[in-house]
Chain A
């Protein structure tokens, strides 16, 4: 399996622009997670989905952030409008369903820089 795929790997944009990050989870995984990692705040859960349905979005920082999962093999995280404080590495992760299958498999991340 190719693992979790994220694109783009790097994104540089100007403040106020819209940013869309993409994720393809591992085939057969029912859970998808979006995280943000910064030096100051570490790795934070933003939102997660089960069977394409958002379960918990309490970590989404503001209304500027939105996430969708239109099907089992694709998810997007959108920031509109972007701000310099959104600069971070954004990770997508997936995990299987089933009792005890709690480990998460992370993608390589998207490094976002907002100038």
Chain B
């Protein structure tokens, strides 16, 4: 069956360090993968999209990698700040291309 796995345990890091979050998937052949940020009591906010033929994508302090052989995406936040504390969700396109399936998310806590 199709599965998207994100580390359910919270990730705690010190301010200024690089946070690395993992998204693994099975039985998918996604054309693209997306990362979203969700703060408590709010809807998810789109951060980055990476396509199957792209290895890496960057946006300011964010970097995403996509390895379709390993079926894994890594999401990095460099020079992390307490304001980066949130839950981060990865999402894959489904058979309908527009339909997204979300992972359960990883909560990041950046300590000052």
Contact = CB atoms under 8 A, between A and B. Distances in A.
Nearest to B31: A102
A108 B45 CA distance: 10
Interface string B91-112: 0011011111111110000000
Interface in A41-95: 42-45, 48, 50, 55-56, 91, 93, 95
Contact of A109 (B43, B96, B97): B43
Contact of A102 (B34, B103, B104, B105): B34
B32 interface: yes
Nearest to B47: A103
Interface string A5-39: 00000000000000000000000000101000000
A108 B102 CA distance: 17
Contacts of A93: 43
A102 B43 contact: no
B64 interface: no
A106 B43 contact: yes
Classify chain B's interface size.
20 to 34
A42 B96 contact: no
A55 B98 contact: yes
A50 B98 contact: yes
A102 B32 CA distance: 9
Contacts of B104: 42
A115 interface: no
B102 A106 contact: no
Interface string A100-115: 0011111111000000
Given A102-B32, A102-B93, A45 B99 contact: yes
A91 B43 CA distance: 7
Contacts of B101: 45
A105 B46 contact: yes
B44 A43 contact: yes
Given A43-B89, A43-B102, A56-B99, A103 B46 contact: yes
Nearest to B97: A102
Contact of B44 (A45, A48, A106): A106
Interface of B: 32, 34, 42-46, 49, 89, 93-94, 96-105
